[in-house]
Structure 1
Amino acid sequence: MNTRTLLTAGLLMLGSCGVMSQSPKPGTLLVLNKNDNTLSFVDADALKVVKTIPVGEGSHELAVSADGKLAYAPNYATKTHGHSLSVIDVVAQKEIRRVELSPLLRPHGVEERDGKVYFISELTRTVARYDYASDTLNWITGTGQDGGHMVVLTPDGKWIYTANRSSNTVSAIEIGETGSPGKIFQIATGSRPEGIDISPDGKELWVGNTGDGSIDIIDVSSNRIKQRLTVGKVPIRIKFTPDGKRVLVSDNGAAELLVIDAQKREVIKRLKAEGSPVGLLVTPDGKRAFIARSGANLISVVDLGTLDFVGDIRTGNNPDGMAWVK
């Protein structure tokens, strides 16, 4: 595959499907249960699952629209190479569309912006964009890198970054117009980069290197690493707080949740989180965080004022990706 060529074979016209006009309940946490192939709706105040619905096979990551009405889950699959995207009506609490993505295989990390859904295809080394309104894949470009797993958009929506585990790189990709790839830069990182997030002001990209326990801090303006921190064992997910002052890291190897002072570059708290901690979510008000303890079938709740655990949510089998309904 020519990784800089738009995959015209992947442009799909799939027919439209309406979405309910009511507003979803704010303060709902959405949780993907990887081994059950389900999505749970959680009352984040009561800390209880209120409903669980089926989705595609092996969905790992989740994104929700700004109005909270639609959620999107790429179906990575387990026994086969997944090639679909589940679209969920959050109000009706059901999957309303299964988007066929072939020839794009093993879709994973996902971000939504203005009705457009960006995801990475791990096996075809590409990043693609699905437009809900037109029900098409209307932008695809190659990274040329192996093991692309997680993605993040810049706040202005002009660039997307992918963490490429097997190539030990991060790809910085300019989002071109429909049908046109933009510029691509490859940034060498530590070993097996995976967790990735961008600061709220769009100036820094933090990347967790799961192979050597480090975090690379990338200057977005130059796409160069300006600092490398050694923080733990397997920093598999990273999330900034909304004010940009702290960075949360789930360390799967040490079974810990790390809290880092973003300015001082120092770990200020380590919370023990047994049970294979992976997925992370910070609420928009910056008051709470949720960490998926996949091996324990739990979501643990963190008070970001006290930096302590304040509750648990019993979920389905192997919870991971989460999204928040504002």
Structure 2
Amino acid sequence: MQTRGVIAAVAALALVASGTPALATETDNAPAALFVAGKRGNTLSKVDLTTGDEVLRVPSCVNPHELATSPDGKHVALACYGGTSVDIFTTDTLTKIRSIELGENARPHGIVWLTAIDLYVTAEGRQSIFWVRDPLRLYPETIREELSLLEFKTGKRGSHMLVVAPDTKTAWTTDLGDRTVTKIDLLGRYAPVSVAVGEEPEGISLSPDGTTLWVSARGSNQAFALDPMTLEVRQTVATGRFPLRIAVWPQGDVAITSDLQDGALSVIDTQTAKVIRTIPVSSPVEAQARFQVTILWSKDGNRIYVAETASDTVAEVDFASGVVLRRFNAGEGGDGMAILP
């Protein structure tokens, strides 16, 4: 059966040593920015997308991975894969304001900030996901009020990446260790359901209309279109080699996979489930030197950002032409990314 627990804030919330953090400054007029987690350098970077310059880099937790910006754009949450917390920074100055402790052996990785009061993160080491309620609530320094952390067990090894339905009723994970995709009922009425999908499923993305769950399996060089509710595989697509991530275009017409061993992106027509073009980001010879991992669409769908972990760069790709426009430097081992429009 599914396990659901509420953990008190005494174990869940660690405030910064300087005391209660100040509110973030207004970011409405801030330039577009890209945030990058440097997993080798243990840093968080901010890149100004107007100039292409890395404007800030601050120390982070050990081995940071995925990132998510708050809906209002004022904060960015960082999953501390080498530890047990989710750390929250302001997007203007990268000031750390809060560290939310998830418990022993959490190893948080995939992260989604869906609404102002709903943040979700996988806890790979606990075979679970957490629903963090009201992550930005400010607490007086002398008071430790309860912070609700709802934990939902997947029961699967390596629950790594995560997507959440817009209505906040359902979440899905890719489970590398057990080679499965798991559906979690966030209302707590039903046990989780898992199905085997390819070899080493890792990438996961939900279509904008919520009708199709896309999964990339890096070990079998395939992408899969699943029914989100039944987890039935509707269509299977052969991709490039080692499709580590998959991301659906904001307009929903295509999905792309990050094919690490090819240094390229496979562009999939979501209606026909066929690869319609390939975008070379680096040559196959350069692929191992760059080691592309996370991919991220700009909010308007015109650009794709590709984290190249081994070369400490992020490539900016024009989707229409497939041309690499720029490469940014953003710390050692850039992996997880989030964008501020």
**What is the TM-score with the length of structure 2 in the denominator?**
0.88
CA contact (8 A) 2:6 2:150 kept: no
The Cα of 1:272 is off from its aligned counterpart by: 3.9
CA contact (8 A) 1:29 1:44 kept: yes
* C-alpha distance 138-9 of structure 1, shift in aligned 2 (>3 A): closer
Q: Distance in 2 between matches of 1:41 and 1:92?
A: 9
Local SS of the residue matching 2:310:
helix
Describe how 1:122-201 pairs up with structure 2 within 5 A: 122-131=124-133, 132-134=135-137, 136-176=147-187, 180=188, 182-201=190-209
Structure 1 position 323 matched with structure 2 position 338: yes
* C-alpha distance 270-305 of structure 1, shift in aligned 2 (>3 A): closer
Structure 1 position 22 matched with structure 2 position 26: yes
Alignment equivalent of 1:310, drawn from 308, 319, 325 = 325
CA contact (8 A) 1:141 1:181 kept: no
CA deviation vs aligned residue, 1:214-237 (integer Å, no higher than 9, x gap) = 111101243211111121221111
CA contact (8 A) 2:67 2:76 kept: yes
CA deviation vs aligned residue, 1:215-270 (integer Å, no higher than 9, x gap) = 11101243211111121221111111111111121111222222222223222123
Q: Distance in 2 between matches of 1:133 and 1:93?
A: 15
Alignment equivalent of 1:45, drawn from 50, 66, 69 = 50
Q: Distance in 2 between matches of 1:42 and 1:213?
A: 32
Q: Distance in 1 between matches of 2:120 and 2:159?
A: 13
Alignment equivalent of 1:245, drawn from 241, 248, 253 = 253
* C-alpha distance 13-143 of structure 1, shift in aligned 2 (>3 A): closer
CA deviation vs aligned residue, 1:243-301 (integer Å, no higher than 9, x gap) = 11111211112222222222232221231433111011101111111001111111001
Alignment equivalent of 1:60, drawn from 45, 57, 65 = 65
Q: Distance in 2 between matches of 1:185 and 1:88?
A: 34
Q: How many residues of Structure 1 are paired with residues of Structure 2 in the alignment?
A: 317
2:119 corresponds in structure 1 to 117
Q: Distance in 1 between matches of 2:93 and 2:189?
A: 36
* C-alpha distance 10-192 of structure 1, shift in aligned 2 (>3 A): farther
Q: Distance in 2 between matches of 1:191 and 1:217?
A: 15
2:96 corresponds in structure 1 to 95
* C-alpha distance 22-87 of structure 1, shift in aligned 2 (>3 A): same
The Cα of 1:51 is off from its aligned counterpart by: 0.9
CA deviation vs aligned residue, 1:199-222 (integer Å, no higher than 9, x gap) = 111111111111111111101243
RMSD over aligned CA atoms reads 1.9
Q: Distance in 1 between matches of 2:70 and 2:204?
A: 20
Q: Distance in 1 between matches of 2:67 and 2:136?
A: 19
1:84 corresponds in structure 2 to 85
The Cα of 1:156 is off from its aligned counterpart by: 2.5
1:4 corresponds in structure 2 to 2
1:285 corresponds in structure 2 to 300
* C-alpha distance 29-133 of structure 1, shift in aligned 2 (>3 A): closer
Local SS of the residue matching 1:296:
coil
Q: Distance in 1 between matches of 2:22 and 2:132?
A: 16
Q: Give the gaps of 5 or more residues in structure 1.
A: none
Report the residue type matching 1:162 in the other structure: T
CA contact (8 A) 1:105 1:121 kept: yes
Report the residue type matching 1:107 in the other structure: P
Q: Distance in 2 between matches of 1:308 and 1:259?
A: 14
* C-alpha distance 233-227 of structure 1, shift in aligned 2 (>3 A): same
Q: Give the gaps of 5 or more residues in structure 2.
A: 138-145
